[in-house]
Amino acid sequence: MTLPRPRAVLFDLDGTLIDTAPEFVAIAHALRNEAQLPPISDSVIRHNISDGATGMVQAALELTHEDTRIPHWRDRFLTLYHAGLGQHSAPYPGLATLVRAFGQKGIAWGVVTNKLERFAAPLMERMAFSPRANVLITPDHVARPKPNPEAVLLACQQLKCEPKDAVFIGDHARDIEAGNAAGCHTVAAAYGYLARDESAAAWGANETVDSSEAFVELILERI
């Protein structure tokens, strides 16, 4: 699938547009300290970020799926995350510059994430992208989040852009599944939060990039 000049570019949030790992790693260490557990490798958390709060809590505290303490620690995780939301996060290299190029060239852009709006919206505000995202779609806006294509299709609808004219980049197989099903040109972000020994090349994306800078180059060549 060859992409001509895109009319819109859509990003997954964590691990694709914004590097939020430092915040999650800090919270994981705080939880282990509260649970009186010894330190854990940062990489353990990074490899589980795409599994959400529950997955990170299980990895951080070494809990099984059946552990009855998970709801308590998940609530504690989210409380700490909300309290320091965005303080240790930053856009991946080159992406703020790419967004400015969108503004100059009339390219719409937005975010399609499985992060709840109460976390995603303040995080985007704190990052202060200019121009601001034209659309932010979260699970609050759809009945079926990614990997279902509903959220991607809604973003395209709100941008008045045919899916075939949009690029969607994400760092998880569910992003590529959703983007492909919607009919977008998909890009796998191999620089994101992949599980250990996972290969982004296996997701079936139209293209794969190993760094955010490579994605910037890819898009700037086409706009």
Last residue of a domain, one of 39, 55, 83: 83
Number of domains in the chain: 2
How far is it, in rounded angstroms, from Cα 110 to Cα 67? 37
Tell me: the pLDDT tens digits for 120-145?
999 999 999 999 999 999 999 999 99
Q: Are residues 160 and 212 in the same domain?
A: yes
Residue 2: predicted pLDDT: 67
Q: Are residues 116 and 162 in the same domain?
A: yes
Residue 1: predicted pLDDT: 59
Q: Are residues 29 and 130 in the same domain?
A: no
Last residue of a domain, one of 61, 83, 105: 83
Q: Are residues 34 and 100 in the same domain?
A: no
Q: Are residues 27 and 134 in the same domain?
A: no
Catalytic residue check, 67? no
DSSP SS3 for 142: coil
Last residue of a domain, one of 60, 83, 106: 83
Name the active-site residue from 14, 19, 165, 175: 14
Catalytic residue check, 51? no
Residue span of the structural domain in which 108 resides: 8-20+89-220
Low-confidence ranges of the chain (pLDDT < 70): 1-2
Give domain status of residue 182, yes or no: yes
Kindly compute the dihedral angle of the four CA atoms of residues 40, 45, 51, 52, in this order, to the nearest 10 degrees: 100
Domain containing 172 — which CATH number? 3.40.50.1000
Give domain status of residue 3, yes or no: no
Q: Are residues 207 and 158 in the same domain?
A: yes
What does residue 107 show for φ and ψ, rounded to 5 degrees? -95, 125
Give domain status of residue 2, yes or no: no
Give domain status of residue 67, yes or no: yes
Write down how long the chain is: 223
Give domain status of residue 148, yes or no: yes
- Burial letters for 105-124: b for 16+ Cβ neighbours within 10 Å, e otherwise? eebbbbbbbbbeeebbeebb
Give domain status of residue 127, yes or no: yes
Q: Are residues 124 and 142 in the same domain?
A: yes
Please choose, from the candidates 123, 18, 131, 141, the residue with its C-alpha nearest in 3D space to the C-alpha of residue 81: 123
- Please give the full DSSP string across 124-139, using - where no structure is assigned: HHHHT-SSPPSEEE-G
Q: Are residues 98 and 184 in the same domain?
A: yes
Given the DSSP bridges, would you call strands 18-19 and 135-137 parallel, antiparallel or unpaired?
unpaired
Give domain status of residue 150, yes or no: yes
Q: Are residues 97 and 39 in the same domain?
A: no
Residue 90's alpha-carbon distances to 11, 50, 96, 115, in angstroms, are 15, 17, 10, 16
Q: Are residues 60 and 135 in the same domain?
A: no
Q: What's the pTM? A: 0.94
Q: Are residues 12 and 61 in the same domain?
A: no
How far is it, in rounded angstroms, from Cα 206 to Cα 72? 41
Give domain status of residue 1, yes or no: no
How far is it, in rounded angstroms, from Cα 123 to Cα 117? 9
Name the active-site residue from 12, 19, 165, 175: 12
Query: For the sheet containing 185-189, what is the strand order?
Result: 135-137, 108-112, 8-11, 166-170, 185-189, 207-209
Positive or negative torsion for Cα 44, 49, 55, 58: positive
Q: Are residues 167 and 127 in the same domain?
A: yes
